[in-house]
Amino acid sequence: MRKSIHSVLRGRFLVSDDSFKNWKMILFISVLAIVMIASSHSADKKVYKIARLKNEAKELRSAFIDGRGRLMELKKESSIEIKMREKGLKTSEVPPQKIKVKPQI
């Protein structure tokens, strides 16, 4: 056993007569390692992109909710009345009348 460990540490399995199959295995394992590393980097990029897009979606949603709240405040009759008073207009005391149009046959 000590002899086999010593020969592996010295690298004799790479220069022996049947070393071609050893080199094929080493090359195969190296290619697999490179593919695995590339796949890992690709997965990490996707995870970071997903996290960034989630944060962006949260920001856009909060901006939408904030804008909707401001719009609702501006659409209130009381706020419209205040702004119209500033411009010199006042609300009418007479309610509006409906106009009905009869279809002509």
- Residue 18 confidence (pLDDT): 72
* Packing angle of the helix pair 77-86, 19-75 (nearest 10 deg): 60
- Residue 38 confidence (pLDDT): 97
d(CA 58, CA 54): 6
Instruction: Give the ranges where the chain is alpha helix by DSSP (H).
Output: 2-10, 12-15, 19-75, 77-86
- Residue 49 confidence (pLDDT): 98
- Residue 96 confidence (pLDDT): 87
d(CA 65, CA 58): 11
Q: How many residues are recorded in the chain?
A: 105
- Residue 7 confidence (pLDDT): 73
In order along its 105 residues, the chain shows pLDDT tens digits of 777 777 767 777 677 777 777 788 889 999 999 999 999 999 999 999 999 999 999 999 999 999 999 999 999 988 888 888 899 888 888 888 999 999 887
d(CA 98, CA 51): 55
| CB 19 within 8 Å of CB 13 | yes
